[in-house]
Amino acid sequence: MTILDGRKTSNEIKVEIAVAVKKIVAGGSRAPHLAAVIVGEDGASLTYVGSKVRACKKVGFDSTLVNLPDTTTEDELLNKVHELNNNNAIDGYIVQLPLPSHIDSQKILMAVDPEKDVDGFHPTNFGKMALNLPTFISATPYGVMELLERYNVDTEGKHTLVIGRSDIVGRPISILMSRKSNPGNSTVTLAHSRTKNIKELTRQADIIISALGSPNFVKADMVKEGVVVVDVGITRVKDDSEKGYKIVGDVDYENVSKKASHITPVPGGVGPMTIAMLLKNTLQAYNK
């Protein structure tokens, strides 16, 4: 059984990006610049954005954190988005989700310049991704594909089951795994909360990519020997530790790993890849 180690792989990618940035700066050009906009004081969002800022520093990027109060109006946030769109010193930026309930997230994401949309959420970039055209791929699906590629996981002709149909993870992964490329060229089934025969599908699947957000949903009796398992789920579950919780994925790792040929741990699998791929998208935006 091979562990698809996201921490190790993401560090390798960051080293590659840092080398590229050193060459850019040595040539007399400015470093790539990533900005992040966060509205309010959501603890998980602040932690995540903070890790992005630290990652920028590690690879030599410039970074800007725009921290707005949760009383920020939709119009004020739209003005900030337009300001970032027109700032030539910033190559790419993200608007951290979730946004406060009084702000229409879709309206904000639609206002982001697709050329700076390093999160890959804009419909223009999603459409290009679906058509297999050069574009920004959403960081989590991009991280999954990068892990499969770097570990030489054979996907051609395989039956891939994607569990979860979100626009950010499930849908894009289902498209990426079916496209004519490597990794890709697999036959994809997209399952979701209304799928009735889920156990039949999981037992048939050569590759299972779960982005459901349901702790330990995929059990050992639901998978076949030699299955490849990519666990995108991250859920906080209460326990008796000092923190008061532990991070759990969609997959019963302890038991499913005994049958799998390849598997991602949680934490330490797909999670670390997300920030690495965001940096990769930012470098791509800079090079454009």
Q: How many CB atoms lie within 10 A of CB 267?
A: 15
Q: In the annotation, is 52 catalytic?
A: yes
| Per-residue pLDDT tens digits for 32-54 | 999 999 999 877 788 888 888 99
| Per-residue pLDDT tens digits for 171-203 | 999 999 999 999 999 999 999 989 999 999 999
Q: In terms of C-beta density within 10 A (0-12 exposed, 13-18 middle, 19 or more buried), how is residue 130 classed?
A: middle
**pLDDT of 288:** 87
Residue 244 confidence class, pLDDT cut points 50, 70, 90: confident
Identified catalytic residue from 5, 117, 119, 231: 119
| Per-residue pLDDT tens digits for 87-104 | 999 999 999 999 999 999
| Per-residue pLDDT tens digits for 123-143 | 999 999 999 999 999 999 999
Domain architecture of the chain: domains with CATH? 28-113 (3.40.50.10860), 139-271 (3.40.50.720)
Identified catalytic residue from 5, 80, 91, 96: 96
Query: What's the alpha-carbon Rg for the chain, to the nearest Å?
Result: 19
**pLDDT of 111:** 98
Q: What is the 3-state secondary structure (H, E, C) of 143-182?
A: HHHHHHHHCCCCCCCCEEEEECCCCCCHHHHHHHHHCCCC
DSSP readout, 97-152? Answer: SPPPTTS-HHHHHHHS-GGGBTT--SHHHHHHHHTT-S-PPPHHHHHHHHHHHHTT
**pLDDT of 258:** 97
Q: In the annotation, is 119 catalytic?
A: yes
pLDDT at 241 over 90: no
CA distance 153 to 136: 23
Residue 228 confidence class, pLDDT cut points 50, 70, 90: very high
**pLDDT of 87:** 97
Q: In the annotation, is 96 catalytic?
A: yes
Query: Which range has the worst mean pLDDT, 9-13, 42-46, 189-193, 240-244?
Result: 42-46
Identified catalytic residue from 14, 52, 80, 280: 52
**pLDDT of 44:** 76
pTM score, whole prediction? 0.94
